[in-house]
Amino acid sequence: MYILVALLVVGHCLADYFHPNTTGLRLKHGFETLLIQPYGYDGFRVRAWPFRPPTGQEISFLYDPPLEGFENGTAHGMSYDMTSTGETPQTLRNGNLIVRTTGWGGNAGGYRLAFSRVNADGSETLLTNEYAPLKSLNPRTYTWPGPGAEFRAEFSFSATPDEQIYGTGTQQDHRINKKGSVIDLINFNTYIPTPVFVSNKGYGFVWNMPAEGRMEFGTLRTKFVAESTTLVDYVIVAADAASPTKYDTLQRRLSALTGRAPTPPAFSLGYIQSKLRYENQSEVELLAHNFAARNIPVSLFVIDYQSWAHQGDWALDPRLWPNVSHMSAVVRNTTGAALMASLWPSVADDSVNYAALQAQGLLSATRSGPGTTDSWNGSYIRNYDATNPEARAFLWQMLHKNYYTQGIENFWIDQADGGALGEAYENNGQSTYIQSIPYALPNVLYAAGTQRSVGKLYPWAHQQAIDEGYRNATSTTSHDACPHLSLSRSGYIGSQRFCSVIWSGDTTSVWKTLGAQIASGLSAAATGWGWWTVDAGGFQADPTVWWSGNIDTAEFRELYVRWFAWATFLPFMRTHGSRTCTSQSAYTCANEPWSYGDHNTPVLVGYIRLRYQLAKYLTRVFERFSAEGRSIMRPLYMDFEHSDRNVSALVAGNANFTTQAYMFGPRLLVSPVTRPNVSEWQVYLPHAAEKGRWTYWWSNQTFAGGEVVTVKAPTEHIPLFFLGSREEILSGEVF
């Protein structure tokens, strides 16, 4: 019964599904071994190593077995029933995906891999193969740059000039098609590269490794580099390229391997208020009273960083927050809102927790030197080791005692990037004159390995620490709805499983940055991260723009209102930022809806109220994401590549009409205004085929689609279109 239900859900039927013809093939060729296994529906997992076999303890971000497929609850492990030395070609099939072993230059023998999809008419389409033109470098190469068994690996796959690549985490590059990009696999503030992508050819790919390295999407070659590892591990899955639901199928396949997001707590879909920063208990209680007095709905207030006495205390400073439980009750009783508090992974030696963490070996170190990884406000610090289960338990113990039992049940895990404090340089602003030192980032030593070999694990494990704590505190499992949520500046493969929102980092408050965040969010969606948001208004002023971040200037007020309007149509609606103003310091400048002038206040409040009106629609969209991996933010290619040829062409060139507009769920099209001083906005409305005509939200004017339209767009009217009827959307009906 389980298998039948799973088949019906994913669109296969027992009569036409091709069961895997093997449990796995071990291909040993010279000093190298490959293990190729069918994985989930229409997928294969490939692991490769030279000389020493893996220990079985290597880090993986995949479920074994996947959430959906013919495995019937049986883990694959390292199993296989076929062996080969590459002397003769082999063919493996799982559903509609075939992998063939072939020889050099097409000759006999089989030690290169080629992946093809079986189409509905029985024909085959080559998706990709290991890149091996005549007399070229081997597509799989290993080098040993240092002592020990860890090696550097480079794997290359064929590509075509017209291929379009979506996903790869988030970068500030204004691009949703990553073709032509070179992406370093190292985390820092605003940059969360993640080797998960989908191709318009109809396949998805996961480079299932925690090592730092690089992704290259060249004209004819796609290349992955792992700087230090003991195992290469990747997965490829396929979908019918002719299907209008191709991308939803790929997201379902990938999320079955990497994890499905639970449904979020209901309050989190409302409005989240934050700034840099609310500094004491009285200020937060007054904030709640001000929201109540103005009758503005709000769901979550956030207490940002430096609310503690010392780095690593993981507690509010009692001199500023004398009665946390009372504050929590005031906020809840006054507004109905919850509280969130910031924590950093850093621990200074004057923290109350430093000695215990040091004694128990729960702090990260470095391969050489004294072990410190960064500095902050004049003190040198080390990070707790999120890769160590004991360290994760220690962190949660402090959070539970000092926050959770006092009524603060949601956590902002800032600076979560790993390595140093997540900046792309050291010295972290300690000097006015020396802002960036061109040292290499520290090769941090963790319980799980080095920064180079497992550095990409750190933010994932940090998110895991909070989720584990939630689940233990609430006696829930990972399959249950999220009892609370965390907010993280970084993540990795499968981060969607951890009740954790990823945001785009400390962005600048200028128009160009606003535009970059839209493309970043659409790349996050293609990576599988449905839980994504931004700092509405940007985090910090751009020093080259005189008005940037200043709430008393008309120029920044306009930018803020446009950014805030867009945040209404993100998975989580949130404002935050370090603001400047005429008469106060940055830490005390306001960032509330009434802080941007009498004219703009009702506009901002109107967007907040619209967000709550969409609650049923949002709830249903999140439910679909949880059950099927169906994206919430939907780049136009996801829904209209087949019904509108123009969409594919526009995406290929990263045209503004496709990098700055998207579907929010299946029925709303959003095109945020990303330029100043405009009252009209051009939008490309795709041909929607059987889904009907487009209706402009603010005027009820209808359009056929397949055309560029110009609509009125004052600050109170973000360009917003819908399919079907407004009543259906407000009642929560989705296609």
Could you read off the pLDDT of 66-78 as tens digits, one per residue? 999 876 678 899 9
Choosing from 233, 248, 313, 506, the catalytic residue is 506
Could you read off the pLDDT of 400-445 as tens digits, one per residue? 999 999 999 999 999 999 988 767 555 455 555 566 667 777 889 9
Q: Note whether 240 and 246 are within 8 A (CB).
A: yes
Measured CA to CA, the distance from residue 546 to residue 1 in angstroms comes to 65
Measured CA to CA, the distance from residue 309 to residue 142 in angstroms comes to 48
pLDDT at 587 (0 to 100): 63
Average predicted confidence (pLDDT) for the chain: 92
pLDDT-based confidence at 130, cuts 50/70/90? very high
Could you read off the pLDDT of 608-648 as tens digits, one per residue? 999 999 999 999 999 999 999 999 999 999 999 988 888 87
Nearest to 95 by CA among 124, 118, 79: 118
Q: Note whether 396 and 405 are within 8 A (CB).
A: no
Is this prediction's pTM over 0.85? yes
Measured CA to CA, the distance from residue 203 to residue 729 in angstroms comes to 32
The identity of residue 171, as a single letter, is Q
Buried/exposed 380-405: b ≥16 CB within 10 Å, e otherwise: ebbbbbbbbeebbebbbebbbebbbe
Measured CA to CA, the distance from residue 569 to residue 697 in angstroms comes to 13
Q: Note whether 541 and 550 are within 8 A (CB).
A: yes
Residue 312 CB: number of other CB atoms within 10 A? 26
Cis peptide before 65 (omega within 30 of 0): yes
Choosing from 414, 535, 639, 644, the catalytic residue is 414
pLDDT-based confidence at 15, cuts 50/70/90? very low
Measured CA to CA, the distance from residue 685 to residue 658 in angstroms comes to 10
368 CB-contact burial (10 Å; exposed 0-12 / middle 13-18 / buried 19+): exposed
- Residue 390: phi and psi, rounded to 5, are -70, -35
Mean pLDDT of 161-178: 95
Mean pLDDT of 560-564: 98
pLDDT at 426 (0 to 100): 53
Measured CA to CA, the distance from residue 697 to residue 519 in angstroms comes to 23
Measured CA to CA, the distance from residue 535 to residue 538 in angstroms comes to 5
Measured CA to CA, the distance from residue 11 to residue 168 in angstroms comes to 27
3-state helix vs strand vs coil in the chain, percent to 5: 25, 25, 50
Q: Which residues does 123 contact at the CB level (< 8 Å), separation at least 6? A: none
pLDDT at 10 (0 to 100): 41
pLDDT at 519 (0 to 100): 95
Q: Which residues pair with 374 in a beta bridge?
A: 381
Nearest to 32 by CA among 113, 105, 94: 113
Q: Which of 7-16, 224-233, 446-455 has the lowest mean pLDDT?
A: 7-16
Could you read off the pLDDT of 137-147 as tens digits, one per residue? 889 999 998 88
pLDDT at 56 (0 to 100): 82
Q: Can you tell me whether residue 20 is helix, strand or coil?
A: coil
pLDDT at 447 (0 to 100): 96
Q: Note whether 164 and 177 are within 8 A (CB).
A: yes
Cα–Cα distances in angstroms (integers) from residue 382 to residues 147, 365, 386, in the given order: 26, 7, 12
Active site residue 414: yes
Within 13 Å and on the Cβ side, how many CA atoms surround 329? 6
Measured CA to CA, the distance from residue 513 to residue 173 in angstroms comes to 10
pLDDT-based confidence at 3, cuts 50/70/90? very low
pLDDT-based confidence at 16, cuts 50/70/90? low
Domains, in order of start, for the chain:
9-258 (2.60.40.1760), 266-628 (3.20.20.80), 634-731 (2.60.40.1180)
Q: Which residues does 56 contact at the CB level (< 8 Å), separation at least 6? A: 77, 78
Q: Note whether 527 and 167 are within 8 A (CB).
A: yes
Measured CA to CA, the distance from residue 568 to residue 55 in angstroms comes to 48
Q: Using the Cα atoms of residue 405, residue 406, residue 407 and residue 413 in order, give the sign of their dihedral.
A: negative
pLDDT at 152 (0 to 100): 97
Measured CA to CA, the distance from residue 365 to residue 168 in angstroms comes to 29
- Paired tokens of 703: 């359009």
Chain position carrying tokens 């750190």 = 458
Percent of the chain whose predicted confidence (pLDDT) is above 70: 94
Q: Which residues does 147 contact at the CB level (< 8 Å), separation at least 6? A: none
Active site residue 506: yes
pLDDT at 123 (0 to 100): 94
Could you read off the pLDDT of 468-495 as tens digits, one per residue? 999 999 999 998 999 999 999 999 999 9
Within 13 Å and on the Cβ side, how many CA atoms surround 393? 5
pLDDT at 5 (0 to 100): 32
Cis peptide before 277 (omega within 30 of 0): yes
Could you read off the pLDDT of 267-324 as tens digits, one per residue? 999 999 999 999 999 999 999 999 999 999 999 999 999 999 999 999 999 999 999 9
Whether the predicted pLDDT of 689 surpasses 90 = no
Whether the predicted pLDDT of 129 surpasses 90 = yes
Q: Note whether 337 and 301 are within 8 A (CB).
A: yes
Q: Which residues pair with 130 in a beta bridge?
A: 157
Measured CA to CA, the distance from residue 570 to residue 515 in angstroms comes to 14
Q: Note whether 685 and 575 are within 8 A (CB).
A: no
117 CB-contact burial (10 Å; exposed 0-12 / middle 13-18 / buried 19+): buried
Q: Note whether 510 and 537 are within 8 A (CB).
A: no
Whether the predicted pLDDT of 463 surpasses 80 = yes
Helical spans, DSSP H, in 50-91? none
Measured CA to CA, the distance from residue 710 to residue 223 in angstroms comes to 42
Could you read off the pLDDT of 36-54 as tens digits, one per residue? 999 999 999 999 999 999 9
